[in-house]
A = this chain, B = another copy of it.
């Protein structure tokens, strides 16, 4: 059995969502069933990058994570692309046997039995600006598959007012899921520096919308890695 892997990197910190700031090694899976208009990880999504993806056994993936982390347990984030396309159960089993913790980030379109083995599952339904539309039945199957996972939450990226209103409606459907909002990042060219002031201005816009509306359920967070490294890869 092999998996398609776009990159394995770290340790760095998790830049967004519930585990923001947490030392993490990232396993970025290659391949996605979505093609969001503003995707910031096309190198793990667009099949034109397919020749750059590694074909690795679970054992080889695990050896690389162990090498990067010096054999010291930490949090591993399985992201993508959509990692739920593939079977990460063997990698998770190897890591948990050595005391590592696992988080997974997925849009919630495909459910996997291994969601139940995760410490954290972040479901990121994509708002209208993505150009995708959410299959809520599939999303529900993800929640069911994750019933044994102690930390399941939603993260929604907000580019505009329409996304924001959509997020409020989604939050109404799932009032018991912790919710994290982050402003969308339209600057995704890895070769161009990011405008820090524009980044923090977008965060301010979203903070003011949420607090101005008296909507106190979501946490509002930036992408720290973009503030620190721009769109550089491998950090």
Contacts and interface: CB of A to CB of B under 8 A. Distances in A.
Interface of A: 10-13, 20-23, 69-70, 72-75, 180, 196-197, 200, 203-204, 207, 210-211, 214-216, 218-222, 224, 227-229
Contact of A214 (B11, B75, B204, B228): B11
A74 B227 contact: no
A99 B216 CA distance: 13
A65 to B, nearest CB: 13
A211 B10 contact: yes
A72 B212 CA distance: 12
A228 B207 contact: yes
A11 to B, nearest CB: 4
A168 to B, nearest CB: 14
Q: How many copies does the complex hold?
A: 2
B73 A21 contact: no
A87 B75 CA distance: 39
B211 A200 contact: no
B228 A13 contact: no
A20 B20 contact: yes
A219 B72 contact: no
Interface of A is mostly: mixed
A22 B214 contact: no
A200 B207 contact: no
Nearest to A208: B12
Contact of A219 (B22, B203, B220, B228): B22
20 contacts: A10-B211, A11-B211, A11-B214, A12-B207, A13-B211, A20-B219, A21-B219, A23-B211, A23-B215, A23-B220, A69-B216, A72-B214, A196-B196, A196-B197, A196-B200, A200-B227, A200-B228, A203-B224, A222-B224, A222-B227
A21 B200 contact: no
A227 B227 contact: yes
A216 B20 contact: no
A23 B210 contact: yes
Nearest to A182: B21
B221 A21 contact: yes
A70 B212 CA distance: 10
